[in-house]
Amino acid sequence: MGGDNCSSNADGPIRVLVADDHPVVRTGLAAVLVQQADLELVGEAENGARAVALFREHQPDVCLMDLRMPVMDGVEAIRTITTEFPSARILALTTYEGDADIRRALDAGARGYLLKDMLLTEVIGAVRAVRRGERVIPTAVAARLAEFPERSDLTERELEVLQLVARGLSNKEVARAIGRTDETVKIHLKNTFAKLGVADRTEAVTVAITRGLIHLD
Amino acid sequence: MGGDNCSSNADGPIRVLVADDHPVVRTGLAAVLVQQADLELVGEAENGARAVALFREHQPDVCLMDLRMPVMDGVEAIRTITTEFPSARILALTTYEGDADIRRALDAGARGYLLKDMLLTEVIGAVRAVRRGERVIPTAVAARLAEFPERSDLTERELEVLQLVARGLSNKEVARAIGRTDETVKIHLKNTFAKLGVADRTEAVTVAITRGLIHLD
DNA sequence: GCCCACCTCCCCCGATTGGGGGATCCAGAA
DNA sequence: TTCTGGATCCCCCAATCGGGGGAGGTGGGC
């Protein structure tokens, strides 16, 4: 168990791990963090799998984690780390994603959700805050969450269908792709439209993209 | 260390202006640039309008410009600067956008197009290269351009129609929005489908998004 | 046990979409 | 000048889409 090494009292530097696939962001962030007297950079990860490995190796006090990464998704990395180290303090740091990403990150065990358009002083303040055991949800993010209080969850099937629709498949093609009748596909889409509050498949796709429910490759 | 290869006529440090709306990226990038002996940071801009103002004020040797920015678009800022200072050396530095963004940035006068998943050494090397008057197009970007050799340009009307379709409007609603017949809208969409190589409106929207032809608000 | 959410399939039906033809107008290029 | 591309409108028509109804089956929660 690696959770007991995190004390609420700061008797040493805050050991930080940064995970982001963009070198510009990752190295730039690292360069800023090391300028802080009370912060110590223990590693940089360029994907989720490497983030997990480095977390196991160094067990940092705080981990800054981007969500969109190759090899292993940021959310998946958060889940893996928090199940292994329940007291891990992870901050999701990403550009503006949909509310679905925010929820998934927090559900996976993230202690906070930061946006890249925040001031660096705020980011550093958030690192110190989570080290103290606090949760960090900026008002902008909280507002985004409050915008859709009821999670308009799409079921796995509905997401699968919508993802295929986004690729331009017709109902019949989707039915063939998932091995079901096109009548079934129509029902899934109908329920999806109702949940998202849209009238047609095209708007359903764009709304799902902006809310982070699906992603374009 | 070696400062001999950084410039053919090095009579001083390379004065750099950074424009990016994300403080994490902008400040982080600045923190890395100032560590280079031959680089000098003369300003940071958080939007396109401020980038133009700071360029007028300092007339830097090189400007790193993000494309997606509030107040004034990065492409618009590039166009403004290069018309006023034809010898301005501007590098577009952005995350992966579509080929349309690359073309628009280069057409607007950018001397290069960098991606945020490039190594920082490559970014810094690109700064020194454009200072020498070279053009910088990474192979990844060049490949992206070569992928669509024929500019599948959509006309203004076609883009306008597609943008409205992305919002979920039907042909009839689009027709009312632009004050035309729905038959005309159908023709525009038909031509759009042919240019993008898609079969339906939904795929047209997603392809246009990934290629940077339209953006979701 | 019951209820409810989810997935599945079927019917019907009107509205919309996508694609074919042809036509006019206009501005700019050859 | 002709010619081409863009925008506009019209007709027709098959296929698809979106929404309504009903009807099972499963699994989990109370």
Supply the Cα-derived Rg of chain A in whole angstroms.
20
- Helix (H/G/I), strand (E/B), else coil: B176: helix
Give yes or no for B202 touching A (CB within 8 A): yes
Q: Which two tokens stand for residue A217?
A: 């490759």
- Helix (H/G/I), strand (E/B), else coil: B112: strand
Residue of A nearest to B198 (CA): A168
For residue B75, the one-letter residue type is: V
Calculate mean pLDDT across residues A51-56: 96
Give yes or no for B206 touching A (CB within 8 A): yes
Cβ(A43)–Cβ(A57) below 8 Å: yes
What residues have CB less than 8 Å from B11, skipping those under 6 apart?
A: none
Mean pLDDT across chain A, nearest whole number? 89
**CB of B134 under 7 A from strand D?**
no
* Res. B151: pLDDT tops 70: no
Cβ-defined contact of B24 to A93 (cutoff 8 Å): yes
pLDDT tens profile A19-40: 999 999 999 899 889 999 999 9
- Bases in strand C with any atom closer than 7 Å to a protein CB: 6-11, 16-22
> For A187 and D19, how far is CA from C1' in angstroms?
10
For residue A146, the one-letter residue type is: A
DSSP tag of A65: E
Give yes or no for B123 touching A (CB within 8 A): yes
Calculate mean pLDDT across residues B20-36: 91
Residue A152: per-residue pLDDT: 61
Residue A125 pLDDT level (bands cut at 50, 70, 90): very high
Give yes or no for B71 touching A (CB within 8 A): no
Q: Which two tokens stand for residue A134?
A: 């606090």
Residue A148: per-residue pLDDT: 66
Residue nearest to nucleotide D8 (CA to C1'): B184
Residue of B nearest to A164 (CA): B203
- Bases in strand D with any atom closer than 7 Å to a protein CB: 6-11, 16-22
**CB of B178 under 7 A from strand D?**
yes
* Res. A169: pLDDT tops 80: yes
Residue A62 burial (10 A CB sphere; 0-12, 13-18, 19+):
buried
What residues have CB less than 8 Å from B172, skipping those under 6 apart?
A: B182, B185
Residue B5: per-residue pLDDT: 38
Residue B103: per-residue pLDDT: 85
- Helix (H/G/I), strand (E/B), else coil: B68: coil
Residue A142: per-residue pLDDT: 86
* Number of other CB atoms surrounding residue B35 within 10 Å: 11
Strand partners, B15: B40
Q: Where are the alpha helices (DSSP H) in B18-119?
A: 23-33, 48-58, 74-84, 99-107
pLDDT tens profile B88-108: 999 999 887 777 888 889 888
Calculate mean pLDDT across residues A56-84: 93
pLDDT tens profile A130-155: 999 999 999 888 887 777 655 568 89
Give yes or no for B28 touching A (CB within 8 A): yes
CA distance A148 to A99: 8
Residue A151: per-residue pLDDT: 58
Please tell me the least confidently modeled range out of A11-15, A120-124, B43-47, B188-192.
A11-15
Per-residue CA distances from B202 to A85, A172, B67, B101, B193 (Å)? 43, 15, 26, 21, 10
Closest-approach nucleotide to residue A193, Cα vs C1': D18
* Res. B2: pLDDT tops 70: no
pTM for the predicted model, two decimal places? 0.86
**CB of A158 under 7 A from strand C?**
yes
Cβ(B185)–Cβ(B176) below 8 Å: no
pLDDT tens profile B107-149: 889 999 999 888 889 999 999 999 999 999 998 888 877 776 5
Residues from chain B that touch A210, judged by Cβ atoms under 8 A, are 216
